[in-house]
Amino acid sequence: MVEHRHVKLDPETRHIETRRLVLRPWRLDDDAAACAIYGAPEVARWLCPALPAIVDRAEMRGMLGVWIAESDAAELPMGRWAITEKRSGQVIGGVALLPLPPERSDLEIGWQLAPAMWGHGYGAEAGHAVAHQAFENAGLSEVFAVIRPGNHRAVATARRVGMEWVGETDKYYGLTLQVYRLWKADLDLPEPACADAPEA
C-alpha cells in the first residue's frame, strides 16, 4: 500500500506538503506540542542518550531554538521539520534530515511522533516526503536511518518507506545501532524491496 506519493516542496518557506501532512520549520511556540512528543517515555526511550526526555516547556523552547538555528543554517534538502496534521493543524511529530556524525558524509532521516498519533502511517508519510524532496530536488541517491536494536516500530516504518537493512555499527553516537538505507530507486516501489530485518 503506497498512499503517500504526492509530495510538494516550497523551497522558500521549506514547507513540504503531502496528502495528509504539512511539514514545516519548527517555531518556538510549538513548545507544548513538542513536549508531548519528546517528553513521552515511549519516544524518549529510543532517543536517549542523544536526546533525553524534555517535559519542561522552557527547556523545550531552548531546544527548539537550537533546532531552528541548526535547520536555518542547513541548506535544503537538510533540515528539521515539525510534522503537522492537515486535518487538525496540530503538531504531531518531528522529522529531520541531517548529516550523521562523526564523518557527516551520510544523511540520516530521524522521525518521531506523539504516541497518540502512532498507527496511522504518518511516520512513513513524513519520512517518504523528506526522502522524496532530497532525491528529487537535491540529486541525492541515498539516505539512511539508524535505529536502536529492539525498536521494531521504527524498523517497520523504515521498511515501509522502502529502506533496506545494511548492518549494525557502533560508529554513530557511541551506541550500537542498526543501519537502514533507502536508495532513490526504491522510494516509490509498490512494496518495499527490503530484506527482512534481523531478529532482535
Ligand X SMILES: CC(C)(COP(=O)(O)OP(=O)(O)OC[C@H]1O[C@@H](n2cnc3c(N)ncnc32)[C@H](O)[C@@H]1OP(=O)(O)O)[C@@H](O)C(=O)NCCC(=O)NCCS
The three three-digit cell numbers of residue 32, written as one number: 507544548
> Does 39 interact with ligand X (rule: CB under 6 A)?
no
Cβ distance to ligand X smaller for residue 111 or 144: 111
Alpha-carbon distance of 25 to 65, in angstroms, equals 11
> Does 153 interact with ligand X (rule: CB under 6 A)?
yes
**Which DSSP string do the residues of 107-166 spell out, in sequence order?**
EEEEEEE-GGGTTSSHHHHHHHHHHHHHHHHH---EEEEEE-TT-HHHHHHHHHHT-EEE
Residues in contact with ligand X, total (CB under 6 A)? Answer: 22
Q: Which of 7, 9, 35, 43 binds ligand X (CB under 6 A)?
A: 43
Closest CA to 35 of 69, 68, 59, 51: 59
Q: Which of 80, 132, 160, 181 binds ligand X (CB under 6 A)?
A: 160
Interface segment toward ligand X; rule CB under 6 A; list 69-77, 112-120, 130-138, 188-196: 112-120
Cα–Cα distances in angstroms (integers) from residue 130 to residues 95, 113, 173, 177, 184, in the given order: 8, 15, 22, 21, 12
Nearest distance from residue 113's CB to ligand X, in Å?
Answer: 4
Nearest distance from residue 93's CB to ligand X, in Å?
Answer: 6
The three three-digit cell numbers of residue 167, written as one number: 548492518
Nearest distance from residue 12's CB to ligand X, in Å?
Answer: 27
Cβ distance to ligand X smaller for residue 13 or 121: 121
Q: How many CB atoms lie within 10 A of CB 11?
A: 12
> Does 120 interact with ligand X (rule: CB under 6 A)?
yes
> Does 119 interact with ligand X (rule: CB under 6 A)?
yes
> Does 3 interact with ligand X (rule: CB under 6 A)?
yes
Alpha-carbon distance of 160 to 123, in angstroms, equals 10
> Does 154 interact with ligand X (rule: CB under 6 A)?
yes
List interacting residues with ligand X (CB under 6 A): 1, 3, 43, 46, 110-113, 118-124, 147, 151, 153-154, 156-157, 160
